[in-house]
Copies of this chain bind each other. A is one copy, B any other.
Amino acid sequence: MKLITRNTDYGLRAICYIAKQKKVVTVTELVKVLGVPRPFLRKILQRLSRENILESYKGQFGGFKLRILAKNIFVIQIMRIFQGKIVLNGCFLKKDICPNRGKCVLRKKIQVIENNALAQLGKINIASLVRG
């Protein structure tokens, strides 16, 4: 059980690194610094570009830079891009847990936990990670 998958992780690392650079950063440089597989990272960056987190420049001396200020990029956004909706309390049956009973108690309780967790994740921006 992991909250964050590899593409989110690599994506965040890349964004953090790019955020600290003044210049446009190439995949080649990121691969060197982060030590992650190049084609995989390319895919991730292309996605972040399509999602308007990064801005890309093609051609020689091209690369990536942030399209948004670091303080306005939140970890949960990146998670949602790569991992979809974050739902902790999904029920598998249409029925309630503990059948013959009213509403699903577990679900409600987990919902509270989820809400807390998401609220906290929603506060973490890239700027705070880079500063930290």
Q: Which residues of A does B touch, CB under 8 Å?
A: 1-4, 6, 9-10, 12-13, 16-17, 20, 33-36, 75, 83-93, 95, 97-103, 105-106, 109-110, 112-114, 116-117, 120-121, 124, 128-130, 132
Closest to A9 in B: B92
Copies held by the complex: 2
| Distance of A6 Cα from B90 Cα, bound (Å) | 10
Given contacts A33-B99, A98-B129, contact A106 B3 (CB under 8 A): no
Contact A101 B113, beta carbon cutoff 8 Å? no
Contact of B130 with A87 in the complex, beta carbons under 8 Å: no
Contact in complex: A97, B3 (CB < 8 Å): no
Whether A3 and B110, one on each chain, are in contact in the complex, defined by CB atoms closer than 8 angstroms, is yes
Say whether A3 contacts B93, CB under 8 Å.
Answer: no
- Which chain B residues lie closer than 8 Å to A92 at the CB level? 6, 9-10
The list of the 10 closest CB pairs from A to B, nearest first, reads A105-B132, A16-B98, A3-B88, A113-B120, A105-B129, A2-B90, A9-B92, A1-B86, A13-B97, A113-B117
Complex contacts, A129 vs chain B, CB 8 Å: 97-98, 105-106
A/B interface sample: 16 pairs, CB < 8 A: A1-B83, A1-B84, A1-B87, A1-B88, A2-B90, A9-B93, A12-B97, A13-B93, A16-B98, A17-B98, A20-B100, A109-B120, A113-B116, A113-B117, A116-B117, A116-B120
